[in-house]
A and B are shown apart, each in its own frame.
Chain A
Amino acid sequence: MYGNDFSPPEDGPGGGLLGEVEAAEAALREAAARARRGGPTPDEDLEAYFADVIDADQKIEPRDWMPEAYRKTLIRQIAQHAHSEIIGMQPEGNWISRAPSLKRKAILLAKVQDEAGHGLYLYAAAETLGVSRDELVELLLNGRQKYSSIFNYPTLTWADVGAIGWLVDGAAIVNQVPLCRCSYGPYARAMIRVCKEESFHQRQGYEILYTLSHGTPAQKAMAQDAIDRWWYPSLAMFGPPDAESPHSAQSMAWKIKRFSNDELRQRFVDMCVQQAEVLGLTLPDPDLRWNDERQSYDYTQPDYDELMQVIKGNGPCNRQRMEHRRRAHDEGAWVREAAAAYAAKRAEKKEKVAA
C-alpha cells in the first residue's frame, strides 16, 4: 500500500551508497569465511591478538577479549545511536495525524515504526557488550547519555518531513555506510540492515520534496523554507570539525570510524548539491561553489557554537523531547509492571502443573 511509485533521477539519493552497503555486506561474509586463527594461544598477549584481528580486517565478536576503552567507546556510540532512533520518532511522529494524504500517512507511519525497530536492534547490539537496555534507557532519561542533536529542531510544516528524509536521513546514511565495515561485528551487521531501510526512507523524503517543489507556489515555498531550516543542522550532524574531535583518532585506529567528520561532511555536501538542482530548490549557502582543484564543493561551515549549545541541552526542543520521553516512560510504568506480574503468575502456574 505504501510502495514507491516515483522514479528518482539516475543514481538518485542513496543510489551509490547502497552499493557500498552491499559491498560491505559481502566483505563481512568474506571475513567470516576466512579461517580465523581460532583464538589466542594460552600464553599469547591478548592485546596483541586483538590488534592482529583489527589489522586483518576481521571482526571482533562479543566473546572476544577487547580493551576496556574499546568496549566503552562502542557502548557510548551504539547507545547514542539507539537513543537517536527512539527520540527521532518524535519530530516525524508530530505529523502522522496531519499527513496530507492517506498514502503519505501510511508511508510516515511505516517509517516511524522502522525507527523504533532500528532502536531495538541497536540496543540489542549494545547489549552484546555487557550492558542492559534498561540501564541505557536510564542513562538517556537522566541526561547522562546523548542522542543526535538534529532531533532537537522542530518540525513546523509538512515539508519538514520531506527535509528530514532527504537531509537528515541522507546525512545519517553517509555517516553510517562506513560503519557497515566497523571492526565490531554486531554493530557492523546492525548498520547494514539499518542503512538499507534508511536509504529507502531518504528516497521517500526526497519524493515528498520533489512533489512539493513541482506543486503549487505555496507548496514550493514550503519545501524551500524547510530546506533553509534543516540544511545547517544536517551539516552539524557530522560532529565538530576534525581539529576539535577528541575521540576520532582512537576510533579510527580501532577501525570503528573509517573517515573523519570533515571528510564525511564534504561527501554529504557534494551529494546534496546535484540533488537540490533536480528538486529545483536551493541550498541556503551563498558561498557554495564547485572547486575544480579539490574536485569538491566549497561551502560555509555550520555554526559550531550553536551545535555545542544544542548538545548541552539548549536547542529549541531539547526539553520538550526529553519531557515527552520521560512522560511515556513514567505513564507506562504500571503497564510494564502488569506484564511482569502476569508473566510471573504464568510461570508459577506452569511450575505447579509440572510438579
Chain B
Amino acid sequence: MLSFLLWLPVIGASIIGFMPGKAESGQLRQITTVFAVVTFAWTIWLLTQFDITHSGWQFAEYLPWIKPIGLSYSLAVDGLSLPLLVLNALLTIIAIYSIGENIERPRLYYSLLLLINAGITGALVAQNLLLFVIFYEIELIPFYLMIAIWGGEKRNYAAIKFLLYTAVSGLLVLAAFLGIGFLNGVVSFDYDTISTQGLSLTTQLVLLSVLLVGFGIKVPLVPLHTWLPDAYTEASPAVTILLGGILAKLGTYGLIRFGLQLFPETWSIVAPGLAIIGTISVLYGALSAIAQKDIKRMVAYSSIGHMGYILVAVAAGTQLSILGAVAQMIGHGLILALLFHLVGIVERKVGTRDLDVLNGLMNPIRGLPLTSGLLIMAGMASAGIPGLVGFVAEFIIFQGSFSAFPIPTLLCIIASGLTAVYFIILLNRTCFGKLDNNLAYYPTVSRSESLPAFVLTIIILLLGIQPNWLLRWTEPTTNQLAVDVYHTEQVAINISN
C-alpha cells in the first residue's frame, strides 16, 4: 500500500518526462494534477485505515534488497510519519497551482515536482536507515534544478548554496548511520534491528551530535541556517512551499525518529543544549524578520523561528511536547504554504515584494482584497492567534516543555509575541494604507490561483477549532515515544546509581 504511494508519482514523472510529442503546459498540468490527487486520495484512504489505538508500525512492507550492505526495501508508517505524508500529498497539489499556468519548460517542471513528492514520501516511510538516506539525497538534484531554473535573479547562487549545504547534511547523516550500523555489530540497517543500547556513552554522543548537525542543516538551526533565506527568497513560490512546507520537516522528523528514538539515553544530555539552540533560533528568526524589507525574506525568517519551537519541544521530550512538535510541523507546513502562496500572488500581480513600495492592497476595487484578506488570516495563524492551528500547536508545545525547560519556554513565548510584531508590520505595509494611483493597475486574481489559498485557510481554521482531528493520529505514538525515553532515562540513572 505504501509502495503504491511511493511509486505512483514516479510513474507519473516518467510519463510526463518521456511522453512523446509536444505537450501543452496546461495539459501537463492536468496530468500532474491527476497523479497528485490520486496520491492524495490514497493517503486519505490510508488515514481511514490507520488504527489509531496502535502505537507501532502499520502497513509494513518488507523486501530484501542488497544483503551485503544491509539495505532492505522496508516501509511502514506510524503516527509520526502519517500526518506528514498527508501534508506532503496536500502541498504537492497546492504547489501545482501556485505557479502561473504558462511556465517555461513545463515537462521538466512537473516531472520534478512529482519526483520530489515521491522522494519525500520515501524518506517518511523508509524503515531502513540506508533507504532513508537514499530518499533524503534524492531530493538534492530535483530541488537544485527547481531553484536554479525557475528562480529569481540570484537563483544560481542560491541553488548552489542549497545544494552544498544539503549534500553536507546528507553525508553527515550517512556517516552517523554507518557508525550506528557498524557498531551495532549486525549487518543490517533495518530500523527495528538497530539499537544503540550497547554503545558507550561517548560513542553515542558523537553519533548523536553528527546526526544533530546533519538534520540541523535541513531544519535549519541557527548557526546552520544561512542557506535558507537565499533559497527561499530566490525560489519560485511553488518550490518554496515544498522547501519550507515539507522538506524542512524531514529535518525535524529525522531529529525525532533517529535522534530521540534511537538515542533515548543520550538525548537527556544534549537536550538542554538543544533547547537553548532552539530558543536562539526562535528569537533570531523573529528579530531578523522584523528587520527585513522584502516580504518573502520576512516569511523565510519567520520559518526559522517557527522551526525553533519544534526543536525546543523535541528537546523537552515529554508526551505533550512531542505531540506539540508534530502538530507544529503540520501547522507550520500549512501556514507557510499559505503565506508563500499569497506572497507569490502578490508578487505576480503587483510586481514587487518590497515593503516600502507595497501599499493599500485591501482596496476592494483596485487592490487585491481577497488575497490580502487571506494574508491577514495567514499572518494571524502564524503569530499564534487562538482559533487557528498555529495557536494549538504552540500552546501544546509551551505547556509540554515548560516542566522541562521553563526559561527557554518563557523566551519562546516572548518570541511568539515578536512574531505578531513583524506580521503586523507586514500587514500594515502591504494591506492597509492607500494605493498609488499611478501604479495600481493590477491584473485580477483568477479562481484557480486563489482556490489553493482557500483550501489551506479552511484546513487551518478547522484544525484550529477541532485540534483533535490533527492530534488523534499521533497521540499513541508520541506517548509511547516519551514513555520509552523516560523509561530508559530511569534505567540509565538506576544503573549509574
- A, B assembled together: no
Q: Which residues of A contact B (CB under 8 A)?
A: none
